[in-house]
Chains A and B, each alone.
Chain A
Amino acid sequence: MELLRFTTAGSVDDGKSTLIGRLLYDSKSIFEDQLDAVKRASVQKGSEHINLALFTDGLRAEREQGITIDVAYRYFATPNRKFIIADTPGHIQYTRNMVTGASTANAAIVLIDARNGVIEQTHRHTFIAALLGIPHIIVCINKMDLMDFREEVYTSIKNDYQAFASQIFPGQDMRFIPISALKGDNVVKPSENMSWYTDGTLLHHLESIPISQDHDLKNQRFPVQYVIRPESDEFHDYRGYAGRVAGGFFHPGDKIVVHPSGIESEIVAVDTLSGPLAEAHPPMSVTLTLKDDVDISRGDMITGVGAIPRQSCDITTMICWMNQKPLQLNGKYALKHTTKDVRCIIQDIDYVLNISTLEKMTENKAIRMNDIARIRLRTTKPLCFDPYTTNRITGSLILIDETTNETVAAGMIV
Chain B
Amino acid sequence: MGNYHLTHLKELESEAIYVLREVAAQFERPVLLFSGGKDSIVLVHLSRKAFYPARIPFPLLHIDTGHNFPETIEFRDRMARSVDARLLVGSVQESIDTGRAVEEKGINASRNVLQTVTLLDAIEVNKFDAAIGGARRDEEKARAKERFFSHRDEFGQWDPKNQRPELWYMFNGKKRMGEHFRVFPISNWTEMDVWQYILAENIDLPSIYFTHERDVFHRDGVWLAAAPFMEMKPSEKVEYRRVRCRTVGDISCTGLTLSSADTVEDIIQEIAATRVTERGGRYDDKRSEAAMEDRKKEGYF
Give the distance in Å from the alpha carbon of A225 to the alpha carbon of B26 in the complex.
10
B26 nearest in chain A by CB position: A341
Given the complex, which residues of B lie within 8 Å of A201, measured CB to CB?
none
Within 8 A of B (CB), among A334-363: 334, 336, 338-339
B234 within 8 A of A: no
A316 within 8 A of B: no
Is A73 within 8 A of B293, CB to CB?
A: no
**Which stretch in A26-34, A160-168, A256-264 binds the other chain?**
A26-34
Given the complex, which residues of B lie within 8 Å of A104, measured CB to CB?
168-169
From the candidates A71, A75, A271, name the one contacting B138 in the complex (CB within 8 A): A75
**Which stretch in B60-68, B110-118, B156-164, B243-251 binds the other chain?**
B156-164
Is B280 within 8 A of A33, CB to CB?
A: yes
A3 in contact with B145 given A31-B276, A232-B53, A272-B52 (CB within 8 Å) = no
A338 nearest in chain B by CB position: B170
A242 in contact with B188 given A31-B277, A33-B280, A37-B289 (CB within 8 Å) = no
A307 within 8 A of B: no
| 28 A-B pairs (CB sep. < 8 Å) | A31-B276, A32-B275, A33-B280, A41-B289, A58-B140, A59-B142, A59-B145, A70-B163, A73-B145, A73-B188, A75-B188, A99-B167, A211-B5, A217-B1, A225-B18, A225-B22, A226-B24, A226-B51, A229-B54, A232-B53, A235-B54, A273-B49, A284-B10, A285-B18, A406-B164, A407-B164, A407-B166, A407-B167
Is A249 within 8 A of B48, CB to CB?
A: no
Interface size band for A: 35 or more
Give the distance in Å from the alpha carbon of A59 to the alpha carbon of B165 in the complex.
17
Is A100 within 8 A of B142, CB to CB?
A: no
Interface string of A53-73 (1 = CB under 8 A from B): 000101111000000011111
A293 within 8 A of B: no
List 4 additional A-B contacts (Cβ < 8 Å) besides A226-B25, A228-B54.
Answer: A32-B275, A74-B138, A273-B52, A398-B170
Size of the chain B interface, CB-CB below 8 angstroms: 62
A148 within 8 A of B: no
Is B165 within 8 A of A285, CB to CB?
A: no
From the candidates B145, B188, B190, B289, name the one contacting A72 in the complex (CB within 8 A): B145
Q: Which of A272, A282, A322, A336 has the most CB of B within 10 A?
A: A336
Give the distance in Å from the alpha carbon of A344 to the alpha carbon of B172 in the complex.
16
A54 nearest in chain B by CB position: B141
Within 8 A of A (CB), among B262-291: 274-277, 279-280, 289-290
Give the distance in Å from the alpha carbon of A217 to the alpha carbon of B164 in the complex.
31
Is B6 within 8 A of A284, CB to CB?
A: yes
Is B141 within 8 A of A405, CB to CB?
A: no
A143 within 8 A of B: no
Nearest CB on A from B101, distance (A): 25
Give the distance in Å from the alpha carbon of A140 to the alpha carbon of B48 in the complex.
44
Nearest CB on A from B25, distance (A): 5
Nearest CB on B from A65, distance (A): 10
Give the distance in Å from the alpha carbon of A271 to the alpha carbon of B144 in the complex.
34
Is B137 within 8 A of A400, CB to CB?
A: no
A379 within 8 A of B: no
From the candidates A33, A58, A244, A282, name the one contacting B145 in the complex (CB within 8 A): A58
Within 8 A of B (CB), among A58-102: 58-61, 69-75, 77, 82, 84, 96-97, 99-100
Give the distance in Å from the alpha carbon of A410 to the alpha carbon of B170 in the complex.
10
Give the distance in Å from the alpha carbon of A273 to the alpha carbon of B52 in the complex.
6
By Cβ-Cβ distance, the 7 closest A-B pairs, closest first, are A58-B141, A33-B280, A285-B17, A230-B54, A405-B174, A3-B8, A273-B52
From the candidates A33, A72, A234, A244, name the one contacting B144 in the complex (CB within 8 A): A72
B17 nearest in chain A by CB position: A285
State the A residues within 8 Å of B (CB): 1-3, 31-34, 37, 40-41, 56, 58-61, 69-75, 77, 82, 84, 96-97, 99-100, 103-104, 211, 213, 215, 217, 225-226, 228-232, 234-235, 238, 240, 242-244, 249, 271-274, 279, 281-285, 287, 298, 322, 334, 336, 338-339, 392-393, 396-398, 400, 405-407, 410
B105 within 8 A of A: no
Is A287 within 8 A of B277, CB to CB?
A: no
Give the distance in Å from the alpha carbon of A298 to the alpha carbon of B166 in the complex.
21
Is B276 within 8 A of A32, CB to CB?
A: yes
Nearest CB on B from A45, distance (A): 11
A68 nearest in chain B by CB position: B145
Is B5 within 8 A of A2, CB to CB?
A: yes
Is A82 within 8 A of B8, CB to CB?
A: yes
A60 nearest in chain B by CB position: B290
Is A99 within 8 A of B53, CB to CB?
A: no
Q: Which of B55, B170, B190 has the most CB of A within 10 A?
A: B170
B187 within 8 A of A: yes
Nearest CB on A from B122, distance (A): 24
A393 in contact with B280 given A2-B5, A58-B144, A225-B22 (CB within 8 Å) = no
Given the complex, which residues of B lie within 8 Å of A72, measured CB to CB?
141, 144-145
Given the complex, which residues of A lie within 8 Å of B175, measured CB to CB?
405
Q: Which of A34, A61, A77, A234 has the most CB of B within 10 A?
A: A34
A396 in contact with B174 given A34-B277, A230-B55 (CB within 8 Å) = no
B21 within 8 A of A: yes
Is B25 within 8 A of A73, CB to CB?
A: no
Give the distance in Å from the alpha carbon of A84 to the alpha carbon of B137 in the complex.
11
Give the distance in Å from the alpha carbon of A232 to the alpha carbon of B56 in the complex.
13
Give the distance in Å from the alpha carbon of A35 to the alpha carbon of B207 in the complex.
31
Give the distance in Å from the alpha carbon of A32 to the alpha carbon of B279 in the complex.
12
Given the complex, which residues of B lie within 8 Å of A58, measured CB to CB?
140-142, 144-145, 293
Nearest CB on B from A7, distance (A): 13
B233 within 8 A of A: no
